[in-house]
Amino acid sequence: MSAGYIWAVIGLMAVANFLVRFPPIAVVSRLRLPEPLMRWLGFVPAAVMGALVAGEVLRPGGEYLISLRSPYVLAAVPTALVYAKTRSFLGATLAGMVFFVAFRALVG
Amino acid sequence: MTPTTPTQTPDTPARTARFVRGIRLGTPIFLGYVPVGMAFGVLATTIGFTATQAVICSATALAGAGQFIALNLMKSGAEVLAVVTATTVVNLRYVLFGATLSPYLAGMSLPRQALLAFTLTDETFAVNVNDRRQGLSTGASMAGVGAVAWSGWVSGTAVGALAAAWIGDPARWGVDFAMPAMFIALLIALAEDRRHVAVAALAAALAIGLPALAPLGIVVPASWIIVIASMGAATVGAVAFR
């Protein structure tokens, strides 16, 4: 893999990632959005997280793994409980990793 | 969620206090990003990045999943444009994030908005929106959240890239579940009422159902699934719950 190839990817990725992030903020914050659009945007956070969680837990690595023997499925449940109980992002993240390693060893 | 009047952050000591508050809010993100950043550092150097390249990539793109996808494609020898397009499409959801946050950022100068935009990720977005709902988030606190999240991602990458030989396979440490665990916590934090739970469930069903349509000849490219599923579910929510 040539250095030029890697640098080209790095440079263009930096530009592209800034372009998907900055213009929406710069433009939309200077507009008054109509109410239906605001309502739509209000549902975006929960929708994105729902889609991300489903994909990560039920299709890890882009392949279906919907099974009670999947460490992803098994670890997801107690991780959710830890967050619901403690409201700690950090606690839930660390506990999730521990659950995952444990279940992977158990069912693997 | 009803947006409140956009807040102007005054130039007072309060701004420092809010920035520090943001750093505190962002600390769990920092600690979650370090292991995943390490995994990126290890993988990047394994496929031929130098440590410097890996760190610069993380520092300038801050693209999480997008960076892992890039590594995968690069390993299989994809062209530069194909790599960049795939990571961009995966991160198109940031367009939605930016639009969602922007009503709160009215009155902020362009350079400040640019800095905030630069550190926008799934986690910083969700933490800021959650904080905003409690009426506490400001531009200064968002800057704190962004700064600490960026530091975690970049320092994790540096450690992973420099110590790849000692770390070995990051999967051993349960790193595969760091992001899913964070997403699960953020989902619970954001799905605060029945309507949001319904929309999140629909988005989840779409994200799982769309790839299953392939045998019917409806092929949704993997990188589009999150964007399509979440836009579709938010649309149904906006129409159904007036």
Task: Give the residue from A48, A63, A79, A90 with the most B CB atoms within 10 Å of its CB, the best one to mutate.
Answer: A48
Question: What is this model's ipTM?
Answer: 0.91
pLDDT tens for the 108 residues of chain A, in order: 899 999 999 999 999 999 999 999 999 988 888 889 889 988 998 999 999 999 999 999 888 999 999 999 999 999 999 999 998 888 898 899 999 999 999 987
Q: Can you tell me the distance from the alpha carbon of B165 to that of B178, in angstroms, rounded to the nearest whole number?
A: 21
In a domain, B182, yes or no: no
In a domain, B8, yes or no: no
Number of domains chain B contains: 2
Residues 6+ apart with CB under 8 A from B235: A40
- Write out pLDDT tens, residues B163-204: 988 888 888 888 889 889 988 998 998 887 999 999 999 999
In a domain, B89, yes or no: yes
Task: Give the residue from B153, B177, B186, B196 with the most A CB atoms within 10 Å of its CB, the best one to mutate.
Answer: B177
**B162 and B235 inside one domain:** no
In a domain, B65, yes or no: yes
In a domain, B185, yes or no: no
**B50 and B107 inside one domain:** yes
CB pairs under 8 A between A and B: 309
In a domain, B170, yes or no: yes
Q: Which two tokens stand for residue B177?
A: 């579940």
In a domain, B184, yes or no: no
**B109 and B226 inside one domain:** no
- Write out pLDDT tens, residues B199-236: 999 999 999 999 999 899 988 888 788 889 999 999 99
**B49 and B118 inside one domain:** yes
Question: A9 phi and psi, to 5 degrees?
Answer: -60, -45
Kindly determine whether residue B205 and residue A25, on different chains, have CB atoms separated by under 8 Å: no
Task: Establish if A69 touches chain B: CB-CB under 8 angstroms.
Answer: no
**B165 and B219 inside one domain:** no
Q: Which structural domain range is residue B122 located in?
A: 15-174
Question: pLDDT value at position B12?
Answer: 61
Q: Can you tell me the distance from the alpha carbon of B59 to that of B118, in angstroms, rounded to the nearest whole number?
A: 10
Q: Report the helix count and the strand count for chain B, using DSSP H and E.
A: 12, 0
How far is residue A69 from each of residues B64, B103, B105, measured CA to CA in Å?
A: 27, 44, 45
How far is residue B219 from each of residues A35, A85, B225, B239, measured CA to CA in Å?
A: 34, 40, 10, 26
**B140 and B215 inside one domain:** no
In a domain, B181, yes or no: no
Task: Establish if A105 touches chain B: CB-CB under 8 angstroms.
Answer: no
Mean confidence (pLDDT) of chain B: 89
